[in-house]
Amino acid sequence: MTSALRREYLAAMGLESWVVRQPSGAGAPPIMAATASVAQALRPATGFEVAADAVAKPGALHREAGFDWAQLRERVAACTRCGLSATRTQTVFGVGNLQAQWLIVGEAPGADEDRAGEPFVGRAGQLLNAMLRAIGLPREQVYIANTLKCRPPQNRDPQPNETAECFPFLERQIELLKPKIMLVVGRIAAHNLLRTEVSLSRLRQQVHLFGASRIPLVVTYHPAYLLRTPSDKRKAWEDLKFAREVSARG
CB of 143 to ligand URA, least distance (A): 13
Say if strands 143-146 and 95-96 run parallel, antiparallel, or are unpaired.
antiparallel
Helix (H) or strand (E) holding 248: helix 233-249
> Is residue 107 at the binding interface for ligand URA, with CB under 6 A as the rule?
yes
CB of 51 to ligand URA, least distance (A): 22
Question: Does 190 participate in binding ligand URA (rule CB under 6 A)?
Answer: no
The residue (of 88 and 249) whose beta carbon lies closer to ligand URA is 88
Q: Comparing C-alpha atoms, which of 186, 40, 171, 174 is closest to residue 96?
A: 174
Region of residue 66 (phi > 0: left; psi between -120 and 50: alpha; otherwise: beta): left
Total of chain residues touching ligand URA, rule CB under 6 A: 11
Q: CA 216 to CA 232: how far, in whole Å?
A: 23
Q: List CB contacts of 125: < 8 A, sequence separation 6 or more.
A: 112, 113, 119, 223
Q: How far is the CB of 108 from ligand URA (least distance, A)?
A: 6
x-or-dash string of contact with ligand URA, 111-140, rule CB under 6 A: --x-----xx---x----------------
Q: Is 56 in the site for ligand URA (CB under 6 A)?
A: no
Element (H, E) at 192: helix 187-194
The distance of closest approach from Cβ of residue 221 to ligand URA in the complex, given in angstroms and rounded to an integer, is 11
Please name which of 40, 36, 41 lies closest in space to residue 55, comparing C-alpha atoms. 36
| Minimum CB distance to ligand URA, residue 110 (Å) | 4
Q: Which of residues 213-242 bind ligand URA (CB under 6 A)?
A: 224
Compare residues 106 and 216 and give the one whose CB is closer to ligand URA: 106
Q: What is the DSSP code (8-state) at residue 230?
A: G
Residues that bind ligand URA (CB under 6 A): 106-110, 113, 119-120, 124, 146, 224
